[in-house]
Amino acid sequence: MTFIPKPKVAHPSLPKNALGLTRRDYEGALSTLCAGCGHDSITAAIIEACWGISARPENVVKLSGIGCSSKTTAYFVSGGHGFNSVHGRMPSIAMGANAANRDLYYVGVSGDGDSLSIGLGQFCHAIRRNLNMLYLIENNGVYGLTKGQFSASADIGTKAKKGEVNQQPPIDPVLLAMNLGAGFVARSFSGDKAQLVPLIQAGLKYPGFAVIDVLSPCVTFNDHEGSTKSYAYTREHFEPVVQADFVPFQREITADYGAGQAMPVVLHDGSRILLRKLAEDYDPTDAGRAYGYVQEHIAKGEVLTGLLHLRPTDQSEFHALNRTPEQPLNQLPYAKLSPGSKALEKVLARYR
């Protein structure tokens, strides 16, 4: 539970980031999830990612709905505000929070139940508004907290722990997000930290809606033989097609990425996402073709991972479209907000 204290002592030689903070400074309360839960690996990846980009902890806003995944916002960056809202409605909280202060990092953590069933509408509309946030779906195909019901991401033919076979088609968040026009759509696996950390970093920096569908096996209710969201099944069918590396603007591109295949995408603050194609016939910047490619592979039972779609320039972010000021709305002085008594007199003239 979150009231279990962690030891405060940190080793003096722990590496420090540009703010002089160690990874320990990005940790949160102790996880109360089952031992071996994929979600905990994702939490670790978020901690690593935030430390790596030297985000100020107080500038990280953690938002979630209800479910196992939604509990995890308590387990990282304790120096940032968290908001565990109601089931499926995190995107609207994120929208309001982001409208009030555009300067912070908004990390939404959701699950397949929270995002694809009860919250499907809000998920879709957050994409439509191109809300600047990182939206992580910790996808395990199952309702954990209520003990093992299928979720809307469960594949046809997958077997529940008690033996029931799912016959309804899944909703795939990656295809859905691409279809709705999201500019940053990725899929990853909780067991592949090397792929996940740079994806999270790139998603945090991306100036628009960034979604990462992270397959995250449920060790208690969906890790058995016959499940298509188990560790074993995911490892077997996991196929990275594009590697994204994130390069903070302070750092030079290292020789590793210089070999012609890497395509740098420069973000607004000068940082870069380097896309390395691992499949020859795949172009992640072409939304239509990326959609077809991912869909074809799903039909073949393959789980493509990586930054599957990236719109290199994004002009439609919420604040850009709404022409709000650079200064966050919650910091505008009242003098700038009140039209004053003279203006009121003019307004009233219309009603005489």
Partner 1 sequence: MSPASRVNDFAIKIATVNGTGSASANTLLMKSIFRSGIPVMGKNYFPSNIQGLPTWYEIRISRDGYVARSGQIDIMVAMNAETYGRDVREVTPGGYLIYDSTWPRPTLLRRDDITVLGVPLARLCNENFKGVRTRILMKNICYAGALAALLDLDLEKIRELLAETYAKKPALVESNMQAIQLGYDYAKQNFPCPLPLRVEKMDQTSGHIMIDGNTAAGLGAVYAGATVAGWYPITPSTSLMDAFKSFADRLRVDPETGRKNFAFIQAEDELAAIGMVLGASWNGARAFTATSGPGISLMGEFLGLAYYAEIPAVVFDVQRVGPSTGMPTRTQQCDLLAAAYASHGDTKHVCLYPANPEECFYMAVQAFDLAERLQTPVLVMLDLDIGMNDWMCRDLRWDDAYQPDRGKVYTKADLEKMEKFHRYFDRDQDGIPYRTFPGVHPKGAYFTRGSGHSQYGTYTEDSVEYQIVLDRLLRKFATAKELVPKPVIDRDPKTEVAIVSIGSCDGAIREARDLLRSQGIATNYLRIRGFPFGEEVEQFLAEHRVLYVVEQNRDAQLKSLLTLETRVEKAQLRSLLHYSGLPVSSSFIVDGILADLAEGRRAVVGAVK
Q: Which residues bind partner 1 (CB under 8 A)?
A: 1-3, 56-59, 61, 63, 73-74, 78-86, 89, 91-101, 103-104, 121-122, 124-125, 129, 318-319, 322-326, 329-330, 332, 334, 336-341, 343-344, 347-348, 351-352
For partner 1, the closer of residues 163 and 333 by Cβ is 333
Q: Which is nearer to partner 1, 162 or 352 (CB)?
A: 352
Q: How far is the CB of 97 from partner 1 (least distance, A)?
A: 4
Minimum distance, C-beta of residue 22 to partner 1, in the bound complex (Å) = 14
- Smallest separation, CB 3 to partner 1 (Å): 5
Residue whose CB is less far from partner 1, 11 or 350: 350
Closer residue to partner 1, CB minimum distance, 209 or 318: 318
Least separation in angstroms between residue 99's CB and partner 1 is 4
Nearer Cβ to partner 1, position 162 or 334?
334
Closest distance to partner 1 from the beta carbon of 278 (Å): 37
CB 93 → partner 1: shortest distance, Å?
A: 4
Q: Which is nearer to partner 1, 32 or 295 (CB)?
A: 32
Q: Which of 84, 73, 83 is nearest to 27 (CA)?
A: 73
